Structure 1
């Protein structure tokens, strides 16, 4: 049995007996000599690569993505008998780390400090004696009220760190309850909750239901000092509404690691919005535990066990 590994990331999974691994170009069509592959690992793979796999790998049983999102794989046309597994959880540590960095950058006003440094200016506004909780601005995570909308593995990884820094953290998901020791509210109550939120973390996936969900109504419901951090998907935010809120001063600041489209065109006015920090989809990009996930799901495939994070 053969598994095809992408050349976009170094991988060395422990394989079940009788399996062999072959590294292939993730940007090119699958070579004819590997059309007998039974499993395919996807990471940074081109549409051409996926289409070739869907067309030619007649004995394919498993497509293992190392990304949490599998929209491109689902659209490639794989047969219904092919199991498609997502890489959910492989980016929880790195994405939560980046989300924390973005939030702290906004809270501690690092972009403004960088601008002052470029002007060679020792800003009295940014330093010196300051109140802990000034009116109209959040400058510390101590007692900050943080809501993480889309409380999956990334949110559950990030929440304890925020709590350790003194924040009051709640999650929002489809149904209310408690997850990982954190109170979770139902997403249909988010709008009513937003006036009490200092920072909104957007970890939502891109679906028809979430497209543009962080729009004018949501942004208007937040306090004027509130911060928005998006490490979910760019399509979930109405970027025109976000820019308008920042320009009007009705949002304290925002940090986006994802935009719609990507890359964000150089002429897009969003670049110049005030109090906005943009990073180029840099939160993930480095799956953690990929080898172990591949091994685990191959073993499940062979033994008839449960394959983790089946997307279809």
Structure 2
């Protein structure tokens, strides 16, 4: 019996030739616009690729189909993080789950540097001045020479450290334990409070797990100090959001750039919106035109391995 791939119409149209070259016997069920997928087709599906073009508008429809696919054996997602409870509904059924880890690392790391450049140059205030046609001269701070704790050493953290080094910063890797081959000094994650007190900047790029939830506590935020900068491109639940808001409002933290909040979307009446020295983006730091292409390549590489009955990349 042939495998049947469930994917979007957009992904299939862009990659049909590659797909047929890799797996000539593969059959397809596509999510076409907002159309519903017939039950008979849902029952045939054995693998899925949740591609970048389905997010966010068609995500609910896509996952609804995948959850109804009783013959599903393998689910590949365009994302790196799979902390959403929806993914456990598949792994609990014995479905193999693979990610596109690394496909969004470059744009996310560049977004982190954008936050730091903007905060040290007080870009939000300059934009407000431009809106009012006010010529407000301001002396900028530099990133050069500042110490930055990169919390998490996956593809995003590695790229953040590389870019920070290129900007003249002094990176420290913060991970559970040193492996001995790291290009920068390493501090243990268990010492995050001490690390915060010893560094000018903290960039958080951790996955969300029961052990990391709330790891950037009020005490860690306080330790960064009134000139310290905090960047979070991991998950909102990693940071004590109430403490972050309070520290920004009171001037006990120099500034923050965050791409993730708890909850998402952030309610319009949440006080975090009005916090000073904050740059807030709507969980889109990795959403570029190149990310979708890299995620597709990650799936296609795994499809080749599936056909060859080899181990899959980035399997959870």
The bucket for the TM-score relative to the shorter chain is: 0.7 to 0.9
What is aligned with 2:25? Answer: 18
Q: Is the 8 A contact 1:47 1:76 kept in 2?
A: no
Corresponding residue pairs, total: 299
The reply on whether 1:308 has 2:310 as its aligned counterpart is no
2: CA distance between counterparts of 1:266 and 1:31?
38
Secondary structure at 1:289 match in 2: helix
Q: Once the two structures are superposed, what CA deviation does each residue of 1:90-110 show, in whole Å capped at 9, x if it has no partner?
A: 111111121111111112211
Q: Is the 8 A contact 2:260 2:281 kept in 1?
A: yes
2: CA distance between counterparts of 1:86 and 1:256?
23
Q: Is the 8 A contact 1:191 1:218 kept in 2?
A: yes
2: CA distance between counterparts of 1:238 and 1:7?
40
Cα distance change, pair 147–299 in 1 and its aligned pair in 2 (3 A)? same
1: CA distance between counterparts of 2:310 and 2:125?
53
Q: Is the 8 A contact 1:91 1:288 kept in 2?
A: no
1:78 deviation in Å? Answer: 5.5
Q: Is the 8 A contact 2:110 2:160 kept in 1?
A: yes
What is aligned with 1:65? Answer: 77
Cα distance change, pair 11–64 in 1 and its aligned pair in 2 (3 A)? farther
Q: Which TM-score applies when normalising by structure 1?
A: 0.87
Q: Once the two structures are superposed, what CA deviation does each residue of 1:34-89 show, in whole Å capped at 9, x if it has no partner?
A: 2312210114353454243233342x221001111222442334564321112211
Secondary structure at 1:3 match in 2: strand
What is aligned with 1:208? Answer: 210
Aligned positions of 1:21-36 closer than 5 A: 21-25=28-32, 30-34=37-41, 35-36=43-44
Structure that is richer in helix per residue = 2
2: CA distance between counterparts of 1:216 and 1:145?
21
Q: Is the 8 A contact 1:95 1:283 kept in 2?
A: yes
The reply on whether 1:169 has 2:182 as its aligned counterpart is no
Gaps of 5+ in 1: 131-138
Q: Which range is displaced more, 100-109 or 4-13?
A: 4-13
Q: Is the 8 A contact 2:151 2:175 kept in 1?
A: yes
Alignment RMSD (CA, Å): 2.3
2: CA distance between counterparts of 1:88 and 1:107?
30
What is aligned with 1:272? Answer: 274
1: CA distance between counterparts of 2:37 and 2:208?
29
1:279 deviation in Å? Answer: 1.0
Secondary structure at 2:302 match in 1: helix
Q: Which of 203, 218, 221 is 1:219 aligned to? A: 221
Q: Is the 8 A contact 1:11 1:290 kept in 2?
A: no
2: CA distance between counterparts of 1:284 and 1:80?
30
What is aligned with 2:295? Answer: 290
2: CA distance between counterparts of 1:299 and 1:187?
37
What is aligned with 1:42? Answer: 50
Gaps of 5+ in 2: none
What is aligned with 2:117? Answer: 104
1:158 deviation in Å? Answer: 2.1
Q: Is the 8 A contact 1:196 1:223 kept in 2?
A: no
Q: Is the 8 A contact 1:5 1:42 kept in 2?
A: yes
